[in-house]
Chains A and B, each alone.
Chain A
Amino acid sequence: MAAVTCRGILKEIRIAKGSDYRNTLVYKYVLEQFKRNQVTGAQFCRARMEALHAARTYLCLLTSTRLHLRLHERYHGRGERAPEEVAGLVGLRLPTQPGGKGWET
């Protein structure tokens, strides 16, 4: 269970960072935390359970921010159309005023 979580977090870091993910602070910190908690022998050690819960929470954070951003880019990323485009959708054109509009400097 712990190994799955650890692998998951490291995979997320690799996806987020790219090539030099091994040099990041977070990679080293996560590995150190997992190694440190391996040392405790007891299976149901409370600190170990707490650390595992924290690790799973962080994995959830990384995964869901990435997927949320991906969905946002895919569906809500495009923004609004310019007024010229909107007019063009129904076949109209915006009027041009050669002297510029009165309130523009």
Chain B
Amino acid sequence: MYRKGTDLKIAVKGQLMQKRYHRQFGQVIWPFAFPQAQHVPSLSTHLQQAKYGSATTERKKFYENVSISQGEGGLFEINLDKRKLKTPGGKLFTVPNEALAIAVATEWDVQKDTLKFYTMHLTTLCNTALDNPTQRTKEQMISAALKFLETDTICYRVEEPPALVELQRNEWDPVMNWIEQRYNVIIGSSASIMGPQIPEETKETFCQHLNSYNVWSLTGLEYVITQLKSLILSFGLIDRHLSVEQAVLLSRLEEEYQIQRWGNVEWVHDYDMYELRARTAAGAMFVHLSSESTAVKKKILQD
């Protein structure tokens, strides 16, 4: 089903229309030509690269207003001016609930002049969950997470200097006790290079627990685990036992110790800390919003 380029002479502002892609109009169906609720086929990948930019070129902000709308199946979509947002893979960008949609819309809304995609963590996470570019299955994600437990940060203790040993004991032991009690498992910590021996029952318990999450939540959880370098801290954050700032502090415990000893370098330490906080907060929000199921009760307004 084609539309010729000449049929679509609608005055649309923005760089997306202007320069190089006029010749592609003939093979492409534009989203705003269709009614809102329809799922439109994907644009060609060239256009997606143009929207998201590449490593060398920056995208200018090509829209004024950002809004959300509810499409088919109760899924929410993001509208940039009149156009619907798409993922880099070309699919329509849909999220299951309103809160996540508003948060993503805000990320796009606060961009000024140029689009800085490295600040739009929730958008990136949604894109990964929607496109699944590496074709990860739920089982793969669960087994990767369990494998991470063997190299969990909390489990690896140093033997010297004594101040750091004590700091690790005071800060990490409570979290270890909490998770062992909460999930009724044994993990233990070790000071050797081999790490702790995780018993099979522990892995079974965690496997069952992880199975209860859906694919979107697992994507977010995997992201948080990769950022914090610890499954235990991620569980602590997702189960709301720790706040984001606490989890990040515990993850960077040795760095914080060194900072206290030798001083803080703003453009490395603070930069890393804020980036880690932002990513972890985005991941945690993503997991919580993807796993909640709030029933929307529509009240009939009596006018």
Q: Which residues of A pack against B, CB within 8 Å?
A: 13, 16-17, 24-26, 29, 49-50, 53-54, 56-58, 60-61, 64-65, 67-69, 71-72, 74-76
Those of B264-303 within 8 Å (CB) of chain A: 266-267, 270-271, 274-275, 277-278, 281-282, 284-285, 288
| B278 near A64: Cβ-Cβ < 8 Å | yes
Question: How many angstroms between the C-alpha atoms of A61 and B237 in the bound complex?
Answer: 14
Listed by A's residue number, 14 A-B pairs whose Cβ atoms lie within 8 Å are A17-B109, A17-B110, A25-B105, A25-B106, A29-B102, A56-B243, A58-B281, A60-B244, A60-B281, A61-B244, A61-B285, A64-B275, A65-B119, A65-B278
| B281 near A67: Cβ-Cβ < 8 Å | no
B67, B109, B271: the one contacting A72 at CB < 8 Å is B271
| B244 near A75: Cβ-Cβ < 8 Å | no
- Let me know if B47 is at the binding interface, CB within 8 A: no
| Least Cβ–Cβ distance between B123 and chain A, in angstroms | 12
Question: How many angstroms between the C-alpha atoms of A54 and B302 in the bound complex?
Answer: 33
Q: Which residues of B pack against A, CB within 8 Å?
A: 67-68, 98-99, 102-103, 105-106, 109-110, 116, 119, 121, 240, 243-245, 266-267, 270-271, 274-275, 277-278, 281-282, 284-285, 288
| B285 near A53: Cβ-Cβ < 8 Å | no
- Given A54-B285, A60-B245, check contact A26 B105 (CB 8 Å): yes
| B110 near A68: Cβ-Cβ < 8 Å | no
Q: From DSSP, what is the main secondary structure of chain A's interface residues?
A: helix
Which of chain B's residues has its CB closest to A69's CB? B119
A61, A67, A75: the one contacting B282 at CB < 8 Å is A61
| A64 near B102: Cβ-Cβ < 8 Å | no
